[in-house]
Amino acid sequence: MREDRQERFAAYVEALAEVIGHADRVEPLRDYCLGLLLPGDRKSVEPIAAVTAPARVSAQHQSLLHFVANAPWSNERVLGRIQELTLPIIERSGAIEAWIIDDTGFPKKGRHSVGVARQYCGQLGKRDNCQVAVSLSLANHAASLPIAWRLYLPLEWTGDAARCAAAGIPETIGFLTKPEIALEQIRAAYAAGLPRGVVLMDAGYGTHQHPVARGDRRSEAELRRRHSAAEFGVAAGDGTAAAAALVGSWPSPEADAP
């Protein structure tokens, strides 16, 4: 890594360290980030430990495992800091043009990784054993930045209390479809006042049955409070149109202020 890149990397990690809490998390944070950048097909803690501390792999493995799995730092705060650091750089190349909803599959072996199940995996192009995460990214013509990630938990997980408890999943976490996760992410980004863009997603999200079509009158009242059903496309069950309208046509937070 060139000297200028080393300095930028050190400054980046230092900024992230400000939101992870205790000072003893700074070193494993740096090593974990470094391991993600170094060459290698596997990015779990064991191979990262081997490349970041080859003389003490076992101790490094324990340190990284504790940092990733047990240390009580906030994923939301870290994502928020990354957004603060990165979004202004992206916007130097132009305004944000799109909010991109996507899901990413992570092929897995075994059944103990949280959310792992036999489901469609985009990396493999078929149904297989994998985890799936839903993400929302802000993008312009030059770059994109993920601002929200959430692991999808299939019904076979959320319906098995013992399995969830063994994996450390809080009891408050229930089942959400991928489009429902995406809509939560869109609403949170809107509430945070992030720069707007056209919402883009693949066809699977657009064919998801909208809560209004399922007879959820609370959702219908929420949408009709500001817009007509035709404007949202809900009469046709068009989830893509609904999501686009949520972001593209709602007034800014400043306009809502009393």
**3-state per-residue secondary structure call for the chain:** CCHHHHHHHHHHHHHHHCCCCCHHHHHHHHHHHHHHHCCCCCCCHHHHHHHHCCCCHHHHHHHHHHHHHCCCCCHHHHHHHHHHHHHHHHHCCCCCCEEEEEEEEEECCCCCCCCCEEEEECCCCEEEEEEEEEEEEEECCCCEEEEEEEECCCHHHHCCHHHHHHHCCCCCCCCCCHHHHHHHHHHHHHHCCCCCCEEECCHHHHCCCCCCCCCCHHHHHHHHCCCCHHHHCHHHCCHHHHHHHHHHCCCCHHHHCC
Q: Which long-range contacts (CB under 8 A, 24 or more apart) does 41-48 make?
A: none
- 212 within 8 A of 229, measured Cβ to Cβ: yes
pLDDT at residue 209, as a whole number: 60
Q: For helices 45-52 and 57-69, what crossing angle results, to 10°?
A: 130
What gap in Å lies between CA 206 and CA 218, rounded to an integer? 21
pLDDT at residue 254, as a whole number: 42
Considering only CA atoms, give the Rg of the chain. Answer: 21
User: Across the strands, what pairs with 121?
Assistant: 126
- The residues near 166 (Cβ < 8 Å, ≥ 6 apart) are none
Among 132, 148, 150, smallest CA distance to 204 is for 132
* Phi, psi values for residue 199, rounded to 5°: -80, 125
pLDDT at residue 248, as a whole number: 43
Query: Which residue shows structure tokens 């340190």?
Result: 63
pLDDT at residue 212, as a whole number: 43
pLDDT at residue 119, as a whole number: 93
- 48 within 8 A of 35, measured Cβ to Cβ: yes
pTM of model > 0.85: no
Give the Cβ contact number of residue 66 at 10 Å.
Answer: 14
What are the pLDDT tens digits along the chain (258 aa)?
677 888 999 999 999 999 998 889 999 999 999 999 998 888 889 999 999 999 999 999 999 999 998 888 998 899 999 999 999 999 999 999 999 999 999 999 888 889 999 999 988 999 999 999 999 999 999 999 999 999 999 999 999 999 999 988 988 998 999 999 999 999 999 999 999 999 999 887 877 664 445 554 444 443 444 334 333 333 334 444 444 444 444 444 444 443
- 249 within 8 A of 227, measured Cβ to Cβ: yes
pLDDT at residue 4, as a whole number: 84
pLDDT at residue 202, as a whole number: 86
